[in-house]
Amino acid sequence: MFKFLAQTFVNGINVGALYGLAAVGLSLIFGVMRILNVAHGEFLMIGGYIGFWLFTLYGLDPFMGLPLVAIFLFLFGAVFYKVVFARVARFHEELKLKNSLLIGFGLYLIFPQIAMVLWTSDERAISPVYSGKAFGILGLRFGYVPLGGILVALIVIIALQLFLTKTYFGKSLRGTAENWKAAKLSGIDIDRTFMITFGLGISLAGLAGVLIGLIQELTPVMGIPWTLKALVVVVLAGMGSIGGAFIAGLILGIVEAVSAIFMGPYTIAIGMLIFLIILMVRPQGLFGRT
Amino acid sequence: MLEVSNIDVYHGDLKALWNISFQLNEGEVVALIGSNGAGKSTLLETIAGLLIPAAGSVVFDGIRLDRKPSQRIVQLGVSLVPEDKGIFPYMSVLENLELGAFNKRGRRLKDETLKLVYGLFPILKDRGSQPAGTLSGGEQQMLAVGKGLLSRPKLLMLDEPSMGLAPLVIRNIFEAIYQINRIGVSILLVEQNVRIALSIANRAYIIENGRIVHHGDSKNLLTDEKVRHAYLGTLSI
């Protein structure tokens, strides 16, 4: 029984790291821009398919292909910001949130259709030769692919944290998140900051997409469940808390995995339950500021 | 150095400034005084590029500022310390100062300016790693002025630096403003505390309901009957 629980725990961490990675991108965009990107999961789906293409068409190892996916999605996000969100981002807070939500829902309707044309609605998977291989320690099974996923997620989160706390540009992102007017008066180009933030957030979603494609199937409609998961994690962590979002992702992953033992298919309700309880009891989230 | 000509500014449909013109010469301290809601902050925000005038022009060192994005205006050497202090409450005092130096010139001269600011406000050095939001009101105002200085402005605009502060702290801050002016930074000061504003300013403009109604040398304004009556609270019998 103990071994079974421990194995479930390990599996939960695998999925939780991906929840965290997906949520961090959403949290970053919301924290800096006050735009809730409800099409976050759609960008994640596109990242997954790009990884799938790189692997199947060019034989590129999915982990080696991650930097390419990150760069491509960053540029895609930055251009997308310029074309679609730049005007909205100039509106005042309430109008900005409302309009960006509507745009996000629009994208959520459009992107899966485009994905169906490009990749059909068949389930796709990124399956290199080592997928499914594992090694054992103390009788627990550690798959290479999930372990790689956790490692990548950790490296990305630590790199992001260092970028935000140690570099001049990263600090300007945090400043913009705290007080955009003060940021403007400090000589920070808000429009450029927003563009790069959006690119970064989308890039993180894309990375999560590839890692997900390694352990689950990719489909054109996979986006919205991931948006919801990311949203639950962000609410759990508190809007705008980057490190917190990752830890909250791990928590959700573990809680879901363990509760699946008792609840089976009803596990999906657990996330929503946490979401509701946190909103009622601690609306600023576990790591948020009051 | 700064030439504001005939500007009209709206807040939505509401006209806030009517045909405002004034100038500031290099090295001067100029005060804008007037009661609450007269449009003083609106005027500073317009110069800083946060608001766009519907008519008229703002020229600084021969360059049009109106319609330029605010980061360009900072780069050109005009810095605004806003009424709400414009600090980042969850970031450390040092990070706030660093972000003040975000533009190219500020970044190049950062270490030198930091020394200068620590000389004016030694407390900021001691509090370097503390989140700015945990500072006292006076210390936050010192940080705000210091942050404004880190952009290495030629013109520093200060919006109500005395607001909500104890008299001793106000004196401390105005002493620093005087020192900043002494090293060659021109100052445009918005104040409701008319006595202290006139004590430091060379000249002052009086704004009422979005219009400039009076201006002159500080010395003359201090003895002006109308000004004394309206703003200094002294009854003229």
Cβ distance A175 to B79 less than 8 Å, yes or no, reads no
A179 shares contact with chain B (CB less than 8 Å): yes
Half-sphere exposure of A252 (CA within 13 A, CB side): 36
Phi-psi region of B216 (alpha: psi -120 to 50; beta: other; left: phi over 0): left
| Per-range mean pLDDT, top range of A90-99, A142-151, A238-247, B24-33 | B24-33
Of A84, A119, A118, the C-alpha closest to A104 is A84
Of A9, A5, A17, A23, the C-alpha closest to A250 is A17
| pLDDT band at residue A273 using 50, 70 and 90 as cut-offs | confident
Interface mutation vs chain A, best among B72, B102, B141, most A CBs within 10 Å: B102
Per-residue pLDDT reduced to its tens digit, B131-157 = 999 999 999 999 999 999 999 999 999
pLDDT of residue B234: 54
pLDDT of residue B207: 92
pLDDT of residue B232: 67
pLDDT of residue B237: 44
* Shortest CA distance from A189: residue in chain B: B71
B221 shares contact with chain A (CB less than 8 Å): no
Query: How much is the average pLDDT of A106-112?
Result: 93
A-chain residues near B82 (CB < 8 A): 181-182, 185
Strand, coil or helix: what is A85?
helix
pLDDT beyond 60 at B229: yes
Q: Which two tokens stand for residue B194?
A: 């008319």
Task: Give the C-alpha separation, A152 to A246, whole Å.
Answer: 13
Cβ distance B151 to A289 less than 8 Å, yes or no, reads no
pLDDT beyond 60 at B236: no
Cβ distance B50 to A168 less than 8 Å, yes or no, reads no
Of all residues in chain A, the percent with pLDDT exceeding 70 is 99
pLDDT beyond 60 at A167: yes
pLDDT beyond 50 at B115: yes
Q: Do residues B106 and B100 touch, judged by C-beta distance below 8 A?
A: yes
- Angle value at C-alpha B48, between B75 and B117, nearest 5 degrees: 60
Interface mutation vs chain A, best among B41, B74, B99, most A CBs within 10 Å: B99
* Shortest CA distance from B95: residue in chain A: A171
Q: Do residues B67 and A166 touch, judged by C-beta distance below 8 A?
A: no
Rg (C-alpha) for chain A, rounded Å, is 19
B-chain residues near A187 (CB < 8 A): 70-71, 74-75, 102-103, 106, 151
Per-residue CA distances from A146 to A9, A130, A248, B177 (Å):
13, 11, 18, 59
Residues 134-173 of A with CB under 8 A from B: 168, 171-172
- In this prediction the ipTM stands at 0.91
A-chain residues near B50 (CB < 8 A): 181, 184-185
pLDDT beyond 80 at A27: yes
**Phi, psi of B11, deg, nearest 5:** -105, 100
Q: Which two tokens stand for residue A183?
A: 């940021």
B75 shares contact with chain A (CB less than 8 Å): yes
Cβ distance B87 to A179 less than 8 Å, yes or no, reads yes
Least confident of A77-86, A111-120, B74-83, B224-233: B224-233
Q: Which of A182, A185, A289 has the CB atom closest to B90's CB atom?
A: A289
pLDDT of residue B146: 97
| pLDDT band at residue B7 using 50, 70 and 90 as cut-offs | very high
Task: Give the C-alpha separation, A193 to B74, whole Å.
Answer: 16
A6 shares contact with chain B (CB less than 8 Å): no
Enumerate domains of chain A plus CATH numbers: 2-281 (1.10.3470)
Average pLDDT, chain A: 90
Phi-psi region of B6 (alpha: psi -120 to 50; beta: other; left: phi over 0): left
pLDDT of residue A290: 55
Chain length of chain B? 237
pLDDT of residue B16: 93
Strands B211-217, B203-208: parallel, antiparallel or unpaired by DSSP? antiparallel
Task: Give the C-alpha separation, A228 to B189, whole Å.
Answer: 50
Cβ distance A185 to B48 less than 8 Å, yes or no, reads yes
Cβ distance A187 to B74 less than 8 Å, yes or no, reads yes
Query: How much is the average pLDDT of B158-167?
Result: 93
pLDDT beyond 70 at B235: no
Q: Which two tokens stand for residue A115?
A: 């994905």
pLDDT beyond 70 at A126: yes
Cβ distance B106 to A168 less than 8 Å, yes or no, reads no
Chain length of chain A? 290
A187 shares contact with chain B (CB less than 8 Å): yes
Q: Which two tokens stand for residue A138?
A: 């103390």
Enumerate domains of chain B plus CATH numbers: 2-231 (3.40.50.300)
Q: Do residues B23 and B79 touch, judged by C-beta distance below 8 A?
A: no
Strand, coil or helix: what is A165?
helix
A289 shares contact with chain B (CB less than 8 Å): yes
Torsion of the alpha carbons at A75, A78, A82 and A83, rounded to the nearest 10: 60
Q: What is the 3-state secondary structure (H, E, C) of chain B?
A: CEEEEEEEEEECCEEEEEEEEEEECCCCEEEEECCCCCCHHHHHHHHCCCCCCCEEEEEECCEECCCCCHHHHHHHCEEEECCCCCCCCCCEHHHHHHHHCCCHHHHHCHHHHHHHHHHHCHHHHHCCCCEHHHCCHHHHHHHHHHHHHHCCCCEEEEECCCCCCCHHHHHHHHHHHHHHHHCCCEEEEEECCHHHHHHHCCEEEEEECCEEEEEEEHHHHHHCHHHHHHHCCCCCC
pLDDT of residue A6: 83
CB pairs under 8 A between A and B: 70
Query: Which parts of chain A are beta strand (E)?
Result: 134-137, 140-143
Choice between A150 and A289, residue whose per-residue pLDDT is larger: A150
Average pLDDT, chain B: 92
Of A7, A18, A21, A22, the C-alpha closest to A258 is A7
Place of tokens 């609840």: A263
Interface mutation vs chain A, best among B84, B88, B93, B158, most A CBs within 10 Å: B88
